[in-house]
Amino acid sequence: MVFLRTSPENLADLTANVSSTVVLVLLITCLCAICRHADATEYCLPETVNVTCAVNEIILVTSAQYGRMRSGRCIKQNYGHVGCEADVTAFMEDECSGRRQCQLPVARLLGVASPCPPDVTSYLDVTHSCVNGETAVNGRCCH
């Protein structure tokens, strides 16, 4: 631990310089974390989101959409109602970001968002990265 002796007049300047340095280091660290490979995965309604990062890493959710965005693994054919969706990024960040492991049944989103008609099956599309745990600020990176 380092102790500095300073006068009250110099304390404000010292604090401002330290704060600027900390913000700059956090910003650079976060930009580097975002540059890492992000995984985008579709999870169908009966499935569970299951993400596990390495021991020294944590999950960083960068986007999450719930609805019927396009045909794919969960939606084989377009029967109409493609394009109804809700941004559930904040919900998924709260549930998964900052943790090493996340397991979440997609059915939990039924109570969070209803972007499509009730008789239309929705799915979850999540983009996340596993980043070094030191890059997180309160479980999130630069949000």
Which domains does the chain show, CATH number per domain? 34-135 (2.60.120.740)
The mean pLDDT value for 42-56 works out to 93
The mean pLDDT value for 76-98 works out to 86
Give the residues across from 40 on adjacent strands: 127
Q: Among the listed ranges 21-35, 38-52, 57-71, 86-100, which one has the minimum average pLDDT value?
A: 21-35
Distance between CA atoms of residues 97 and 62, nearest Å: 9
The mean pLDDT value for 104-119 works out to 90
The mean pLDDT value for 65-76 works out to 83
Q: Which residues contact 62 (CB under 8 A, 6 or more apart)?
A: 34, 38, 89, 127, 128, 129
The mean pLDDT value for 87-105 works out to 97
27 φ/ψ angles, rounded to the nearest 5 degrees:
-65, -45
56, two tokens = 């020294």
Distance between CA atoms of residues 86 and 123, nearest Å: 11
> Strand runs (DSSP E) across 53-92, as ranges?
57-68, 84-87
Under the banding of pLDDT at 50, 70 and 90, the label for residue 116 is confident
